Structures are given as structure tokens and as C-alpha cells.
Structure 1
Amino acid sequence: MIRHEIKNEYLKVYLRENSSPYSIPLCELGQTTDWRVAVIDDEKIIAKNISKWTLHLFTDKNLTIEFAREFQRIVKKNCPTNTINWEETEKAIIIYDEYRRLSANVKEEKIGVFSSLKNYDKNAYKEIIKKLKKKYNLD
């Protein structure tokens, strides 16, 4: 459970026990953004109209999807007129997490295997993006 409080027009979010809170201005709580989940040259996955703060907290602190769902409830309660696409936000987090996991595997496999690691990296990452686009039915 996320510990949080509203103080002086800010939502204070405590992500871990005994940690300093993340302070989010209430007037910015419902802000949206487009997230470049994965982009390598012309291969890309971009999530549109997602929660700016869920993205920021999730990618910065490597939090779970359960955290994102709980944060969503907090945002909806404190900013009920938000226009955030929560379905897209959750899907982007899941895809990002899978992309990060698959990318880590690529990095482990490439060591000492190819002489041209730069080209290998790009092609391997492009293949990951293509697989994720197909798996999640993205354009």
C-alpha cells in the first residue's frame, strides 16, 4: 500500500519505508504525456495520453504494476476530471517492463559473441520491439 498525504497543495507519496516523499503538485496530478517506451531508428513503441506521474515514478524507481494501479486510484480520487488513458498507461508499463527484461538478456548474450557489437545491439533491440508490437497488437 502506498502511503500518501496531501499537504500544502501537494500530494506527498512515500514509495518506500523511511524514504523522503515524492511531492507532486495537485494541479499537475492529472497531466498526460506520450511515452516513447522503446525507439530504435524506425522501430518504435509509443504510448499516448498516459499518466505523466505514473511514468515518472515507475521508470525512476522500478516499481510494480500493483503500485501503478494503486497510484491510479489515488489520482482518480484527488483529480476526478483527469483525461489519463489508464488502460494505455498500464499496458505501457507492462510493455516497458518486458522490453527492459528482454533487453537485459540481449546484453548478456552479446558479450564476446560478435565483433560488431554495435550493429548487433541495434538489430537485436529492433527485433525485441517487433516482437512486442506483434504480441500486444500495436500498429
Structure 2
Amino acid sequence: MASEALDHVLRPPLPWRKESLTECGLDPASFQTITRDEFIAKVKDLGQKRSAMTTCMTCWDTARRWPTWEQDPPRRLSREVKWGGHGDDQFTRELYAITALIEAHREEFDDYLAGLETTVSLQERRRERRAR
């Protein structure tokens, strides 16, 4: 019986990053990979035990534990902080670049924030309705 390569799950990148890694930190170009959505579908279709037999266990655990940027931006950032960013101080450089961009476009940044503050949160509205 030939052994099949394990699926590695692609880590959802931060919005400003071009490159990607697997959830276990490997270069996806060198390994068999699936997206987070494909991973979720695989677990749903095969069940936890069967899908675990063909998925990198580090990717398996990490994909289930850490949210995407769209789900929870602060927790997604906390992953970068907790694990030291993306090697060789990339995360620190990114933070300096974001700071410089905000300073160079302060008015536009402030206007964008003000717009977000006035936007109605659908999630909050749903919570209010359920509370009634």
C-alpha cells in the first residue's frame, strides 16, 4: 500500500502579505496543500478521525485553533505576536511600514476610522434582537 503525502493547510495570510505559509510554517510550494475552506469541507465529509489520518497534525490543530483575519483581526494579529511574526523580523518591519503609511495619510486614516464608527454592526444588531 503506497503512502500518500499528508495535506498541509494553507495559513490565511494577513491582508497586507503577498506570500503564504502552511499552518505548520512550511513553504506551500514544496508540499501538498489545501485551503482552510477545503480543510473544513474535508473534516465535514470524512469526519475528524479519517481526515486527521491524511492531514498534517500541526496544521490540523493550528487551523482549528486560530481564526482568520475576517473572523477576528485582533486574535489573528496575536498569533503573529505570540510566535514572533514571520521570521527575520518581518512582522516588526510590517508594523513600522503601517505606522509610516498612517502618518503619511493621517487624514484619510482618521476619516476611515470615523466611517467605521458610524457603520452599524450587523452582529451587534442581531444580539440586540435576540436579547429582546
Band of TM-score, shorter chain: 0.3 to 0.5
The structure where strand makes up a greater share of residues is 1
The structure where helix makes up a greater share of residues is 2
TM-score w.r.t. the length of structure 2 is 0.34
State which structure, 1 or 2, has the greater radius of gyration over its C-alpha atoms.
2
